[in-house]
Amino acid sequence: MESNIHPQSEPQIESGWLASVKRVESPNSDCRTDESDISLLVIHNISLPPGQFGGPHVEQLFTNRLNPAEHPYFADIAHLKVSAHLLIDRLGQVTQFVPFHRRAWHAGVSEFDGRSACNDYSIGIELEGTDLLAYTESQYQSLTAIARCLMIHYPQLSKERIVGHSDIAPQRKTDPGAAFDWAYFRSLMLPR
């Protein structure tokens, strides 16, 4: 299946939602303290169960429908109220869970550039993956197209303000991990 984000054409944002991507609204969001203060992009990774791809479990987690009896790992996380704005699966397909003008619950206890509570001013993007398994070309292409679009739509965002979860919560988090090729991603972000 081809990505639903095409790198040759800029994605469009309509009322906080990316046009032409799957939309599954998460109840795990709330109002930002300042909707005009979107100035950080945080890249995460997720796979449920860990190391397995392609199932419905991430969507179920973000919509509070994960069955704790379905896998031993789920018993520890099914109670969590978490979300991200976007999920990019291994094929580059994008699902949006929270509109950008709302606060998704992805960063937890976090700090960037001396400022805490990163959820207040960030957009969270989950890549389906693990810290140690290479991400796919389709994921890099979708992520790049989305990051470019977000920087145009939210001018406080910049390439310097695209970070990993490990950068804002280094004592707790390791994602997107050593497998994420920051140099390659930055090369994709260079002006065309």
Which residues are part of the catalytic machinery?
126
Q: On the CB side of 84, how many CA atoms lie within 13 Å of its CA?
A: 22
- Tokens coding 159: 């390439």
Strand order in the sheet with 40-46: 22-23, 94-96, 86-88, 122-128, 40-46, 162-164
- Tokens 């390439």, residue located: 159
105 three-state secondary structure: coil
**Rounded to 10 degrees, what is the CA torsion of 150, 23, 89, 175?**
60
What is the identity of the amino acid at 147? A
The C-alpha atoms of residue 38 and residue 103 are separated, in whole angstroms, by 10
**Rounded to 10 degrees, what is the CA torsion of 154, 103, 87, 65?**
-160
- Tokens coding 183: 């140099």
176 three-state secondary structure: coil
